[in-house]
Amino acid sequence: EAQVTQNPRYLITVTGKKLTVTCSQNMNHEYMSWYRQDPGLGLRQIYYSMNVEVTDKGDVPEGYKVSRKEKRNFPLILESPSPNQTSLYFCASSLYSGTGIYEQYFGPGTRLTVT
Amino acid sequence: GNSVTQMEGPVTLSEEAFLTINCTYTATGYPSLFWYVQYPGEGLQLLLKATKADDKGSNKGFEATYRKETTSFHLEKGSVQVSDSAVYFCALKDSNYKLTFGKGTLLTVNP
């Protein structure tokens, strides 16, 4: 089954404790992206990657890091989480060609609470 | 920059009612347009899309027509069901590497 998986689905942590949210896709997609969803703000892009070792900032990258060492995986790293990073996080993937991305496939989400 | 504006929710309807969720956009060029749906506790799923002016996307009884003259992509369904209760997001392909989403509209359908 074609899918995007995220782990963990739920996480409660404390300020400053480094964490990683994993994302994996089995569709051989070139493009992957991280979004955060907040009430009244919709989805905002954090980082994206157009292929292995190619990453770039989205609209709200502060406080986050990513890496793309393998095509299927795109982990999101919070080196020193703060309460304002409490949010619902989604990973997405898409085919990518010369005309850009196609429709995106989303993971189930990770609800992060930072106290 | 490009942006998407969709009607504020929440929207509450009775089963079998007609649904319209308005979506307008601001963009240069001719972006592809999408509607995504998010059921409770799940990620977003593509509902329908349109890639050029006057295209009509349709799926599961939902329809939306890409209107360049009014820069709109309104979502419609003739008869909603309880199972359609979800959050609906309008989005446009902002560039080769990004989708820009509206803020989402919560739809609740009562039996």
Phi, psi of B82 (to 5 degrees): -55, -35
Q: Average of pLDDT values for B68-94?
A: 95
- What was the pLDDT predicted at B56? 96
Q: Average of pLDDT values for B55-64?
A: 96
Cβ contacts from A onto B, under 8 A: 53
B103/A contact by beta carbon, under 8 A: yes
Cα A86 to the center of its chain, rounded Å: 14
For residue A101 the two structure tokens come to 């991305």
Query: What's the CA gap between B107 and B84, in Å, rounded?
Result: 8
Selecting from B43, B98, B103 the residue whose C-beta is nearest the C-beta of A108 gives B43
- What was the pLDDT predicted at A42? 87
State percent of chain B over pLDDT 90. 76
Query: What's the CA gap between B63 and B22, in Å, rounded?
Result: 12
Q: In angstroms, what CA-CA distances link A76 with A59, B42, B47, B56? A: 15, 19, 27, 36
Bigger pLDDT: B8 or A106? A106
CB contact under 8 A, B43 and A107: yes
State percent of chain A over pLDDT 90. 83
Residue-wise pLDDT tens digits, A59-89: 999 999 999 999 999 999 999 999 999 999 9
Query: What's the CA gap between A87 and B110, in Å, rounded?
Result: 29
Which residues in chain B are contacts of A100 at CB distance < 8 A? 93, 95-97
Q: Average of pLDDT values for B80-97?
A: 90
Residues A59, A60, A62, A66, CA torsion sign:
negative
B40/A contact by beta carbon, under 8 A: no
Q: Is there a contact between A42 and B102 (Cβ–Cβ < 8 Å)?
A: yes
CB contact under 8 A, A41 and B101: no
B:63-92 residues touching chain A, CB 8 A cutoff: 89
Q: Is there a contact between B47 and B59 (Cβ–Cβ < 8 Å)?
A: yes
Neighbours of B41 (CB within 10 A): 9
